[in-house]
Amino acid sequence: MSATPTTTDLLRRFTPLDSLRRENLAALAKKVEVHSLDPGRVLIREGEVDKRAYYLVSGTLELVDRQGGSRLLRATSREAASPIAPVLPRRCQVRAVDRVEYLSVDTDLLDVMLTWDQTGSYEVGELRSDSSGDDWMTTLLANKTFHRLPPANLQAIFMRMQQVNCAAGDVIIRQGDEGDYFYAITRGRCVVTRETPLSRDGIKLAELGVGDTFGEEALISEARRNATVTMLTDGALMRLGKQDFARLLNDPMIDWAGYDEARGIVARGGQWLDVRLPSEFEAYHEPGAVNVPLYFIRLKLGTLDPRTPYVVCCDTGRRSSAAAFILNERGFTTRVLKGGLNAVANGVTT
């Protein structure tokens, strides 16, 4: 299977991609590739629930339903302008009859783009960052943080964000400082480090690139910055002030759960995720909980299963809210224990 870049002209062949504004369609073209599939290979399996929209570019596909009935879909047909087998779970198996080419589009991203196009009162081009040829708004829309927000919040966020141009070596946030802004990278790369008693130079926690965000932990938990973020290259950031972040971005992102509800989620296959320090965790924790301290959450993302619903907990709910925000923007499903473990200790279970 190979992949080649796509073009806006190609995307305009398909619906609802053809309804996107020019700027958003151009940005989407940078994130979508043309894939190929050999004869006999399966593109879609019955019962799959992946959030992707597939479009046939060339060749012929066979769609076989659960009763054994089949039909052919040719790229030259009018039907091929629409997504292939779009209903979830997928109701048929789709395989290549001959060598085919197809597109695969993230449906969450597409839905956010369509919503922004159809509800925003400002042209995307009017708000474009002058420092970059890319549409920074569409770059941020690709971040899963924004997929859960009401359209009115999206527009308000973009209008309140401020552009900051940076040089390599610039310290954007410093460990121990008060939190004031939430940041999104629109150009360049950053490194996240944390100073410890054994390492004054700091332990490297993560590298961040275009579309990544940072700075939310201190804003949500109302604590001081727990890490330093430094520009690795020249670049540009968009920042959102603390009050706007809380009202427009954080509050809609967090889903709370009382203790009884949280236990039910875990009983049905979920997982307790305790983001306190190891010393706090060792003192007491929920049975079966895993411990990933908040300041290590980005570093340990690879150890977590995105298919598992996580009930995130700490002592009060502040640190767990910050951790849930980070997980949500990367596509995890989370609930935050309301009131934290302190509330459970005091007999509050709802």
Which positions are annotated as active-site residues? Answer: 314
Distances in Å between the Cα of 345 and the Cα atoms of 24, 289, 341, 349 are: 50, 16, 6, 9
Rounded CA separation 287/216 (Å): 29
Measured CA to CA, the distance from residue 186 to residue 189 in angstroms comes to 9
216/180 Cα distance (integer angstroms)? 9
Q: What is the CA radius of gyration of the chain?
A: 23
List the end-to-end C-alpha distance of the chain, in Å, as a whole number. Answer: 51
Strand positions, DSSP E, 174-255: 181-187, 190-196, 199-208, 213-214, 228-231, 235-241
The Cα 318–Cα 290 span in angstroms is 18
Q: Closest Cα to residue 234, out of 302, 175, 185?
A: 185
Estimate to the nearest angstrom the gap between the alpha carbon of 72 and the chain centroid: 35
Q: In what order do the strands lie in the sheet with 60-65?
A: 42-44, 92-96, 60-65, 70-74
For residue 309, is the peptide bond before it cis, meaning its omega torsion is within 30 degrees of 0? no
The sign one gets for the Cα dihedral 181, 320, 148, 212 is positive
Taken in order 170, 176, 181, 187, is the CA torsion positive or negative? positive
Torsion of CA 270, 143, 6, 189, to 10 degrees: -120
* Whole-number Cα distances in Å, 99 to 39, 135, 243, 329: 5, 34, 54, 36
